[in-house]
Structure 1
Amino acid sequence: MSFGPLERLRASLAKDESFRVLQRLFLADGVKHWKGYATAFAFMGFMALSTGGMAWLMRDAVNSIFVHPTFWGVWGVALGVMALSVIKGASAYGQNITMARVGNRIVADNQKKAFDHLLGQEVSFYAIRHTAEISMRLQAGANAARDALNLVITSIGRDLLSLVVLVMVAVIQDPMLALVALVLMPAAVIGTRKLIKKAKNIFRKEFASGIKLSAISLEVIQGMRTVKAYTLEDTMRVRVHTYIDDVERAANKLVRTQAKSSPLMETLGGFAIGGVILYAGYNVMFAGKSPGEFFSVLTALLLAYEPAKRLARFNVDLAAHVIGAHMLFELLDMRAPEAEEKTLPDLPAGPGRVTFDQVEFGYRDNEKVLRGFDFVAEPGQTTALVGPSGGGKSTVISLIERFFTPSAGTVAIDGHDVTAFNRQSVRTHTALVSQDVYLFSGSVRENIGFGREGATEEEIVAAAKAAYAHDFIMGFEQGYDTPVGEHGAQLSGGQRQRIAIARAFLKNAPILLLDEATAALDSESEAEVQKALQKLQSSRTTIVIAHRLQTVVRADKICVVEQGRILESGRHDELMARRGRYYNFYQIQFAHEGEAGAEPQGEALLSA
């Protein structure tokens, strides 16, 4: 799995990048939402002051009850505590609501930015990365950005402010008493620093295992038919269980690491409170001081315990969010070539003449798929590409669609080099129907309507009728509102193909690209789809890729593609007369006909 994948993540996080990640978060999201954070910070300030006020009132409460008992003094203290509780409760509610709204907006903004960035990537980006990895960066990364900011804000506004106010109360009431307790606090914070590095390593392993688990689970679910057909249940169960166990082990290690800060704080907190009791007891019993100061300081220390514990483990908790935010930033920092081309002009409208001039291309370095490829597809004609698998036929369509860019030579439409124009405008000139039809979750109407934005109901129905799809669509109980299911799973192969053809009809592009559009269909479905395709091909530049020669014998030009070059081209009868490579393919495919020159059964269909 690669994204420069987890290897790049490990290398970049080998250095402590917490400060850099946090700085970027604050400059991007923090500054944008500063009003919301300022409001939440104000609420947290009221919470801290209320907490400190309660600790302060403990002196008057104890003295009013035990030292100088007065009815009105007790009432005054009680009402003061009640009022402070109301203020603290209302402030806590305001802080939680404000932080949640700001946090949810940050998640939404980052997910939108990440998704827009993904849309700007080339097809090659997705070819080398697993869907689970991209999804995890999109979802977990956006959540981590929010959680990192929220943790920092709440640690400063809630915990640190509360701790400062409570320490001030303790110091004012009895400086020496506070000193006895506070001398042990820094030791707790220093003690947790050793846990931070270990926590980060565990988080990285947990993310890696989580990505692997998501990847294999997604593959098993999407490939369930293959799993069942080859009885791979036990094999896949072992693989998935292994990754689940890896995630569980990492999670358990993380819990142990995080939990180590609690015994340290519990121990040091106990020593601090014990020291306060000894010192205060001596002062009350032998130095004549009132117990009110003692209880006030003790209350302040007890209330300070939880915020102090959270601050002590702040960096340990922050580690996971920093790594998640880094995953998001790594995605956002990658170049988005298609988005960068938005400034290029639109490809001018034309009849759709396609030419390849000495084109070279390879998916990997030093592995060329096309080698000096020359090719012309004329408007109003059907040009077929045939030949063995791996020869470069599908690559030709990918280059026309600008899914990839040739390393040398020129791909042109109506004489215009397609690389000089933005990709979206190039793709508006083409309509693609492939063997692997992709339908989106939604209704039949929506999937046809994707052919052209803003298409009317009448236009969608007209496209469906042209694709011979209207009748079977109306046979569904919900008609055009029928859900197609994930990847069109609720439709047959022939129905999916005709929906795709209807989408192409609606697009009405001058160039039609057919990549094995009928290869996976049975004879009856193929007959229906072929009728729709013939209607679609009229008056367009049509480029057909086919392994089954019976589907292209009536093409205006047939090109035999092998090892990245066109070996021969011409009409069916011309190529058969030459007795070259096409003739050999034809003989092999139709040997069962008894005579190589006999007209295959599919020709009658194509000429219909």
Structure 2
Amino acid sequence: MNVKDRKEREVDNETIAGILRRVIAENGRDHIGGYAFAIACLMVVAATTAFTAWISETVINEAFANKRGDVVLLVCFSIFAAFVLRGLATYGQAVALSKIGNSIVASYKRRLYTHLMALSIGFFQEKRSAHLTAKINQNISGIRDVLNMTVTSVARDVLTLVGLVGVMISKDWLLSLITFVGAPPLLLGLRYISRRLRLATREAVEANSRVLGAMQETIQGISIVKAFTMEDELGRKVEGIIKGAENRANRIARLSERTAPLTETFAGLAISGVLAYAAFRTIYSNVAPGALFAFVTALLLAYDPVRRLARLQVSLERAAVNARMLYEILDTVPHQRDLPGARQLAFSEATVEFRDVRFSYGNGEEVLKGVSFLAEGGKTTALVGPSGAGKSTIISLIPRFYDPQSGVILIDGQDIAAVTKQSLRNGLAYVSQQAYLFEGSIRDNIRYGRPEATDAEVEEAARL
């Protein structure tokens, strides 16, 4: 099995049904009222659409055969009322689903931010931050799209199609049977397209995240770019990444738009065949045209829901891939959880002791090999050594940015692995080698360390 086939097999295992079940389980209950209202509106849309097709037989027969103007006026008024009702219902479901979708997106943004804050620094060093941010921005709407497309397709398109097919069968069951003979080949073709589109969508998301990541990293490191005249070299690199993303986007366009010739061909055959059949029956068999006109109207109105349903799996595949990639981040288990029963760290002399500490980054070579020392409280302890000796690593282990592979780190005789990270870090002052400012004023940045600090305390900290 080659790499491409293996990737397709892996992506195929990420079923839409599994993603849908998880999305509904996590969001359905919170928005059940809004979805119930939207579904009710969509049912009204479906019912009024089917009613328009069904009543057209009465219009044709009463107007052209029986010539009863009073009945025609009543029927026309009912059609007008149906369209008004459908317009109001369409507005209601659109607003309801938009509000629910916006709420879901906001909820997952909050959830993602909280989860990212719980992950260790090692996670962010393994994942390039620019790529991670770009991937989140692209994929977070996938959750909303999976739910909204499912609701609108089931409550509007499926119900509308069922109603219109019912009208068609009631007017001419034999013609209805003939019309839908071509449906199975159409469904098989769409299934093949959607399976290929799933892998292409995942590759496109990855490619776009690399594009946005490269741009973000260039902006953040613009002084280095300028200092070393890296513009041309980086430009060539980014051009290649952009070209790759463009090719993947074009592939998705070719795959997703293949549904159009399939559905259009099917619709063209069905509609032209029905019109020819209706015309010959009226001309040569002197059959009243009302029933056949109603059948044709139902068939024409059924085209839109059929077209949307034909594209549904393709659209759901794309949304499900986005949702799956978002869940990959949410399902990442934090490596540095507090131990059960972890206690608050109590400070007294502020001594820091390392006992035979060993540490390596990932599966790399050991950076610290049995380090032991005691830094007494109230005194200055300097770590001296060449670049790469492990000085920054030792500092990173004290606030538990990482955990050692073996050995013990003690503060005032307490193992920092057995205390809560929050109490540990609240008692430490940390000055990074790289000054980083968050959005806001200098005063705001200083106060982040202690939000309750007064202006005088902030200014004193700035002077110090």
Fold match (TM-score > 0.5): yes
Residue 270 of structure 1, aligned match among 268, 271, 289: 268
Query: Counterpart of 1:168?
Result: 166
**What residue ranges of structure 1 are gaps of 5+ in the alignment?**
1-7, 468-608
* Residue of structure 1 equivalent to 2:428: 430
Question: CA contact under 8 A between 1:180 and 1:276: conserved in structure 2?
Answer: no
Distance in 1 between residues matched to 2:210 and 2:7, nearest whole Å: 15
CA distance in 2, matches of 1:132, 1:364: 21
User: Is the Cα contact below 8 Å between 2:179 and 2:270 reproduced in 1?
Assistant: yes
Distance in 2 between residues matched to 1:450 and 1:252, nearest whole Å: 46
Amino acid of the structure 2 residue aligned with 1:321 = A
Task: Provide the residue aligned with 1:96 in structure 2.
Answer: 94
Match of 1:384 in 2: 382
Residue 362 (structure 2) pairs with residue 364 (structure 1): yes
Structure number with the bigger relative contact order (C-alpha 8 A, sep ≥ 6) is: 2
Q: Which amino acid aligns with 2:404?
A: P
Find the partner of 1:70 among 50, 61, 68. Answer: 68
After superposition, the Cα gap between the structure-2 partners of 1:164 and 1:76, relative to the gap in structure 1 and judged at 3 Å, is: same
Hey, what's the Cα distance between the residues in 2 that align with 1:456 and 1:443? 15
Which one-letter code corresponds to 1:443 in the other structure? S
Matched, 1:124 2:122: yes
Equivalent position SS for 1:33: helix
Matched, 1:324 2:322: yes
* Contact kept? 1:342, 1:422, Cα under 8 Å: no
Give, in whole Å, the separation in 2 of the partners of 1:242 and 1:213: 9
**1:472 alignment counterpart:** none
Q: Distance in 2 between matches of 1:283 and 1:91?
A: 38
Q: What amino acid does structure 1 have at the position aligned with 2:191?
A: R
Distance 2:374 2:84 in 1: 80
In the alignment, what sits opposite 1:452? Answer: 450
| Superposed counterparts of 1:202-601, under 5 Å | 202-339=200-337, 341=339, 344-365=342-363, 367-464=365-462, 466-467=463-464
Relative to structure 1, the CA distance from residue 93 to residue 341 in structure 2 (aligned partners, 3 Å threshold; closer, same or farther) is farther
SS at match of 1:27: helix
Identity %: 36
How many Å separate the matches in 2 of 1:339 and 1:291?
A: 75
Which residue in the other structure is 1:135 paired with?
133
CA contact (8 A) 1:10 1:204 kept: no
Return the offset for 1:366.
5.5
**Residue deviations 1:492-543, cap 9 Å, x none?**
xxxxxxxxxxxxxxxxxxxxxxxxxxxxxxxxxxxxxxxxxxxxxxxxxxxx
Aligned length: 459
Asked if the contact 2:11/2:199 (under 8 Å) is kept, the reply is no
Q: Which moved more, 1:340-349 or 1:452-461?
A: 340-349
Could you give the per-residue CA deviations for residues 223-252 of structure 1, whole angstroms, max 9, x where no partner exists?
111222222222222211211111111111
Say which SS state the counterpart of residue 373 (structure 2) adopts: strand
Aligned counterparts of 1:311 and 1:72: Cα–Cα separation in 2: 39
The aligned amino acid for 1:235 is E
Q: Secondary structure at the match of 1:364?
A: coil
Q: Please say if residues 119 and 333 of structure 2, whose CA atoms lie closer than 8 Å, have aligned partners that are also in contact.
A: yes
SS in 2 for 1:334: coil
In the superposition, the TM-score normalised over structure 2's length comes to 0.94
The AA in structure 1 aligned to 2:439 is S
Mapped contact 1:58–1:295 kept (Cα < 8 A): yes
Which residue number corresponds to residue 32 of structure 2? 34
Deviation at 1:343, TM superposition (A): 5.8
Match of 2:3 in 1: none
| Match 1:57 to one of 55, 58, 77 | 55
Contact 2:355 2:407 (C-alpha < 8 Å) held by counterparts: yes
Q: CA deviation at 1:462?
A: 2.8
Separation (CA, whole Å) in 2 of partners of 1:11 and 1:174: 44
Aligned residue identity for 1:43: C
* Distance 1:463-1:16 versus aligned 2 partners, 3 A rule: closer
The residue identity in structure 2 corresponding to 1:194 is Y
2:155 corresponding residue in structure 1: 157
What's the CA shift string for 1:137-184, capped at 9, x where partnerless? 433332101111111111111111110011111111222232232222
Alpha-carbon distance in structure 1 between the residues aligned to 2:37 and 2:336: 40
2:41 matched residue in structure 1: 43
Q: How far did residue 355 of structure 1 move? A: 0.7
User: Which segment drifts farther, 8-17 or 304-313?
Assistant: 8-17
Q: Matches of 2:140 and 2:337 in 1, distance apart?
A: 21
Question: What secondary structure is seen at the aligned counterpart in 2 of 1:382?
Answer: coil
Which one-letter code corresponds to 1:395 in the other structure? Answer: T
SS of 2:381's partner is strand
CA distance in 1 between partners of 2:427 and 2:77 (Å): 77
CA RMSD of aligned residues (A): 1.9
Measure the CA separation in 1 of the matches of 2:429 and 2:340: 21
Q: Say which SS state the counterpart of residue 437 (structure 1) adopts.
A: coil
| Cα deviation, residue 288, structure 1 | 3.1
Which residue matches 1:602?
none
In terms of Rg, which structure is larger?
1
In terms of fraction of residues, the more helix-rich structure is 2
CA deviation map 1:284-306 (0-9, x unaligned): 22333211111111111111101
Question: How far has the Cα of 1:437 moved from its partner?
Answer: 0.8
Q: SS in structure 2 opposite 1:74?
A: helix
1:338: Cα distance to partner? 4.0
Q: Given that residues 359 and 371 in structure 1 are in contact (C-alpha distance below 8 angstroms), is that contact kept between their aligned partners in structure 2?
A: yes
**What letter is aligned with 1:266?**
E
Structure 2 equivalent of residue 574 of structure 1: none
Contact 1:169 1:297 survives alignment (8 Å): yes
The Cα of 1:347 is off from its aligned counterpart by 0.9
Give 1:95 shift: 0.6
Which TM-score applies when normalising by structure 1?
0.73
* Other-structure match for 1:113: 111
| Change over 3 Å in CA distance of 1:364–1:174 after alignment to 2 | closer
| In 2, Cα distance between equivalents of 1:366 and 1:322 | 36
Matched, 1:17 2:15: yes
Q: CA deviation at 1:342?
A: 8.3
SS of match in other structure, 1:335? coil
Q: How far does residue 127 in structure 1 lie from its aligned partner after superposition? A: 0.9
CA–CA separation in structure 1 for the residues paired with 2:84 and 2:386:
79
Once the two structures are overlaid, the 10-residue window that deviates more, 218-227 or 416-425, is: 218-227
Using the alignment, how far apart are the partners of 1:316 and 1:270 within structure 2? 22
Provide the secondary structure at the position in 2 that maps to 1:23: helix
- What is the rounded CA distance, in whole Å, between the counterparts of 1:13 and 1:30 in structure 2? 25
User: Per-residue deviation at 1:344?
Assistant: 2.2
